[in-house]
């Protein structure tokens, strides 16, 4: 069994966890407390259940998940809700003080005191696996806990498990909607750690998610809707590990196919057909439409500069009632329409899993590595520079052990990263 351990850090990471595990429970026919639903005898749904769940004695399944937050709010809501019995309490770590939106507090001050506990819990969870495939981390990179503590966890994970795959699902600050003034600092400092320590990072932009949700749901979306989109993407990325299919894809295969140059492992994703929760499956759309929507530019979850960039690589994973032949025919046409780098002559990596997400007849997921992602970095760097050059807010970081030199170094690393993407066009 090739297990995957999910680590959810900070407010945003845990809100995603809430939606994500709900979705997995439904896909695998489990109740909110982790027991098999009555009449669930579907062998197909449960053949690979142990990738994400750990079975305990009384037939109950416990998620292989670790919830970490520096403030108790979100985790308390999960525990107070219908999934109260689901998670293992020894895998929930919450501390009171909070990171105060400050990367340095999450990384140095609070992180220092809690990281060992987190690593011990991770070690214990890893020991329960037979052959761990890797880690998934969900966090936001603009706040304090998800960014600072998330960075520290990434560093320590890489040291402790150098050969395991680390995937992050990182929510990036939006160009227009901003939660806090210091987001660019937090984001740049975190991106540097993701660059150094993760194998692949799927960047998710709240504004892009908001736009997608609004246009597809035909109403004003809330954070639950945005997190639901993220959960659908995460569930599809891992679908072929969990369900049987003709073209299986695992984390290592994704990395091999999606990362043409070391360090250029920042991806963006798209999920189709996008429907509001509850409306799924009302319209049974045909496969060519699903494939087209999957690769439609306005369906991707980060603000990518599509005009000044090329595709470095792409993966597509289709789920549900789709035929391999149909996939190949349609993808050949789509492949021609995508603007690939001249030195990437081969096709799109394809995967097919038999089971669609709950409520869907079929679905598509695209994970792409596009050089236009440099725009995301450049935007953050511009905002970073405006504040940094005027010494605005930097004292909060210096007081917590992050010098201006460290910040400047992180900034330069991300400038080089953006440039390497531009050069690859």
Partner 1 sequence: MDTALERQIASASRSVEEARRLAYHDPVRVGALVEQISVLADLRQKEGDFRKAESLYREGLFRAQELRRQDPDLLTGIYSLLAHLYDRWGRMDKAAEFYELALNISADNGLEESDKVATIKNNLAMIFKQLRNFEKAEGYYCEALETFQRIDGEQSSRVASVYNNLGVLYYSSMDVDRAQAMHERALSIRQNLNDGQMDPADLSQTFINLGAVYKAAGDFQKAEACVDRAKRIRAAMNGYHPNPRRSASLLIDKSL
For helices 110-127 and 150-160, the axis angle rounded to 10 degrees is 40
Closest to partner 1 by CB, 3 vs 88, is: 88
CA dihedral 389, 390, 396, 402 (to 10 degrees): 20
| Residue 123 binds to partner 1 (criterion: CB under 8 A) | yes
Closest to partner 1 by CB, 156 vs 246, is: 156
Residue 373 DSSP symbol: G
Closest to partner 1 by CB, 127 vs 389, is: 127
Burial zone of 66 (CB within 10 Å; 0-12 exposed, 13-18 middle, 19+ buried): buried
Query: Shortest approach of partner 1 to residue 113 CB, angstroms?
Result: 5
Block residue for tokens 């932009």: 205
Q: Are 54 and 61 in contact (CB under 8 A)?
A: yes
Measured CA to CA, the distance from residue 200 to residue 197 in angstroms comes to: 9
| Residue 255 binds to partner 1 (criterion: CB under 8 A) | no
| Residue 92 binds to partner 1 (criterion: CB under 8 A) | yes
Query: Shortest approach of partner 1 to residue 93 CB, angstroms?
Result: 9
Examine the residue annotation and report whether 253 is marked as an active-site residue of this protein: yes
Q: Are 308 and 425 in contact (CB under 8 A)?
A: yes
Give the CA distances from residue 84 to residues 79, 81, 154, 405, in Å, rounded to whole numbers and listed in that order: 4, 6, 28, 45
Residue of the chain from 1, 44, 84, 124 that contacts partner 1 (CB under 8 A) = 124
Whole-angstrom Cα Rg for the chain: 20
Stretch that binds partner 1, among 44-52, 110-118, 219-227, 406-414 (CB under 8 A): 110-118
Burial zone of 389 (CB within 10 Å; 0-12 exposed, 13-18 middle, 19+ buried): exposed
| Residue 119 binds to partner 1 (criterion: CB under 8 A) | yes
| Residue 120 binds to partner 1 (criterion: CB under 8 A) | yes
Closest to partner 1 by CB, 82 vs 123, is: 123
Q: Are 9 and 147 in contact (CB under 8 A)?
A: no
| Residue 222 binds to partner 1 (criterion: CB under 8 A) | no
Quick one: which of 61, 70, 72, 53 has its CA closest to 107?
A: 70
Query: Shortest approach of partner 1 to residue 267 CB, angstroms?
Result: 31
Residue of the chain from 33, 42, 85, 90 that contacts partner 1 (CB under 8 A) = 90
Residue of the chain from 33, 42, 117, 339 that contacts partner 1 (CB under 8 A) = 117
Q: What residues from 152 to 191 belong to the interface with partner 1 (CB under 8 A)?
A: 159-160
Measured CA to CA, the distance from residue 210 to residue 364 in angstroms comes to: 20
Residues forming beta bridges with residue 135, ordered by sequence position: 5, 166
| Residue 55 binds to partner 1 (criterion: CB under 8 A) | no
Closest to partner 1 by CB, 160 vs 177, is: 160
Residue of the chain from 39, 41, 43, 89 that contacts partner 1 (CB under 8 A) = 89
Query: Shortest approach of partner 1 to residue 121 CB, angstroms?
Result: 8
Residue of the chain from 37, 56, 81, 116 that contacts partner 1 (CB under 8 A) = 116
Selected catalytic residue, list 253, 326, 378, 398: 253
Closest to partner 1 by CB, 113 vs 214, is: 113
Quick one: which of 409, 366, 316, 379 has its CA closest to 202?
A: 366
Residue of the chain from 67, 114, 204, 312 that contacts partner 1 (CB under 8 A) = 114
| Residue 56 binds to partner 1 (criterion: CB under 8 A) | no
User: How many positions of this chain bind partner 1 (CB under 8 A)?
Assistant: 16
Intra-chain end-to-end CA distance of the chain, in Å: 39
Query: Shortest approach of partner 1 to residue 66 CB, angstroms?
Result: 12
Burial zone of 219 (CB within 10 Å; 0-12 exposed, 13-18 middle, 19+ buried): exposed
Query: Shortest approach of partner 1 to residue 109 CB, angstroms?
Result: 12
Query: Shortest approach of partner 1 to residue 168 CB, angstroms?
Result: 22
Q: Which residues are known catalytic residues?
A: 253
Give me the residues that bind partner 1 (CB under 8 A), please. 88-90, 92, 113-114, 116-117, 119-121, 123-124, 127, 159-160
């Amino acid at each position: 069994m090739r297990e995957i351990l999910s680590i959810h850090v900070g407010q945003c990471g845990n809100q995603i966890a809430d939606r994500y595990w709900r979705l997995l429970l439904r896909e695998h026919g489990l109740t909110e407390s982790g027991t098999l639903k009555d009449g669930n005898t579907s062998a197909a749904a449960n053949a690979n259940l142990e990738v994400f769940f750990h079975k305990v004695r009384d037939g109950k399944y416990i998620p292989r998940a670790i919830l970490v937050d520096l403030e108790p709010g979100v985790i308390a809501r999960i525990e107070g809700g219908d999934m109260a019995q689901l998670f293992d309490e020894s895998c929930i770590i919450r501390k009171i003080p909070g990171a105060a939106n400050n990367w340095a507090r999450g990384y140095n001050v609070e992180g220092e005191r809690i990281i060992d506990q987190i690593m011990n819990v991770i070690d214990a969870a890893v020991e329960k696996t037979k052959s761990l495939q890797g880690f998934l981390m969900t966090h936001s990179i603009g706040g304090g806990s998800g960014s600072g503590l998330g960075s520290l966890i990434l560093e320590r994970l890489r040291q402790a498990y150098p050969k395991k795959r680390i995937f992050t699902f990182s929510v990036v600050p939006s160009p227009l909607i901003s939660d806090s003034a210091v987001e660019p600092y937090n984001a740049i400092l975190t991106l540097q750690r993701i660059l150094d320590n993760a194998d692949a990072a799927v960047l998710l932009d709240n504004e892009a998610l908001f736009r997608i949700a609004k246009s597809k749901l035909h109403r004003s979306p809330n954070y639950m809707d945005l997190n639901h989109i993220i959960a659908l993407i995460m569930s599809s990325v891992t679908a072929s590990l969990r369900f049987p299919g003709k073209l299986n894809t695992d984390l290592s295969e994704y990395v091999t196919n999606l990362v043409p140059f070391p360090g250029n492992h920042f991806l963006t994703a798209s999920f189709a057909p996008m429907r509001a929760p509850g409306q799924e499956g009302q319209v049974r759309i045909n496969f060519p439409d699903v494939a087209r929507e999957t690769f439609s530019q306005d369906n991707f979850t980060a603000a990518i500069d599509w005009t000044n960039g090329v595709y470095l690589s792409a993966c597509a994973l289709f789920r549900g009632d789709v035929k391999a032949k149909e996939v190949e025919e349609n993808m050949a046409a789509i492949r021609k329409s995508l603007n690939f780098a001249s030195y990437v002559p081969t096709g799109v990596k394809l995967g097919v899993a038999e089971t669609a997400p709950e409520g869907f007849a079929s679905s598509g997921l695209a994970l792409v590595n596009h050089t236009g992602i440099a725009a995301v970095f450049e935007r953050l760097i511009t905002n970073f520079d405006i504040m940094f050059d005027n010494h605005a807010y930097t004292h909060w970081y210096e007081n917590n052990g992050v010098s201006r030199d460290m910040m400047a170094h992180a900034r330069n690393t991300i400038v080089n990263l953006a440039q390497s993407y531009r050069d690859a066009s």
